[in-house]
Amino acid sequence: MAASQAILLLQKQLRDLCKNPVDGFSAGLVDETDMFEWSVSIIGPPDTLYDGGFFNAIMSFPKNYPNSPPTVRFTSEMWHPNVYPDGKVCISILHPPGDDPNGYELATERWSPVHTVESIVLSIISMLSSPNDESPANVDAAKQWRESREEFRKKVSRCVRKSQEML
């Protein structure tokens, strides 16, 4: 029963995004027969280190969506404190609902069923604009962000160039 409700909700969100596209990204199904796997393309936010980049990601929804969050993994190369080396995005709204076992996040910052594909991707775009190096997914990127901004910028520039070459 939960999977069919999730499918209906995801179909609605897809229709809404098709009718009312949002600046900065596009999203659609990886395979027309699977509502639980979406392809997302994010344009690097203007006036950030990621400006000019075109970054691809896969958003995978659980069968009990929206009660549990999707996972988002960049398939484009990404250098960012809040993106694991394997491309998985680590932001509060993608963490399971409820209290944080580590005590870092408030329950209100974590996943809530009110989030949509749009709000998730806009949060990722915001993350690109403002890295959080206090609880990094990529410790090396966070360390470089704090200690050697110029080296960090060079590494991000390489990611941006690679993303442009993939077009």
The CATH topology of domain 2-165 is: Ubiquitin Conjugating Enzyme (3.10.110)
Instruction: Tell which residue, 33, 36, 30, has the closest CA to residue 5.
Output: 36
Residue 147 has pLDDT above 80, yes or no: yes
Catalytic residue among 35, 90, 124, 125: 90
Is the previous residue joined to 66 through a cis bond, with omega within 30 degrees of 0? yes
User: For residue 135, what pLDDT is reported?
Assistant: 85
Report d(CA 44, CA 129) in Å as an integer: 9
Residue 167 has pLDDT above 90, yes or no: no
Report d(CA 141, CA 162) in Å as an integer: 18
DSSP label at residue 94? G
Q: Cα-Cα-Cα-Cα dihedral of 2, 111, 42, 54, to 10°?
A: -110
Residue 2 has pLDDT above 80, yes or no: no
Q: What is the pLDDT of residues 21-57, one digit of tens each?
A: 999 999 999 999 999 999 999 999 999 999 999 999 9
* Mean pLDDT in residue range 11-21: 95
Residue 89 has pLDDT above 90, yes or no: yes
Residue 159 among the catalytic residues: no
Domain ranges of the chain: 2-165
Question: What is the maximum alpha-carbon separation in the chain?
Answer: 52
- The average confidence (pLDDT) of the chain is 95
Q: Cα-Cα-Cα-Cα dihedral of 100, 45, 121, 126, to 10°?
A: 20
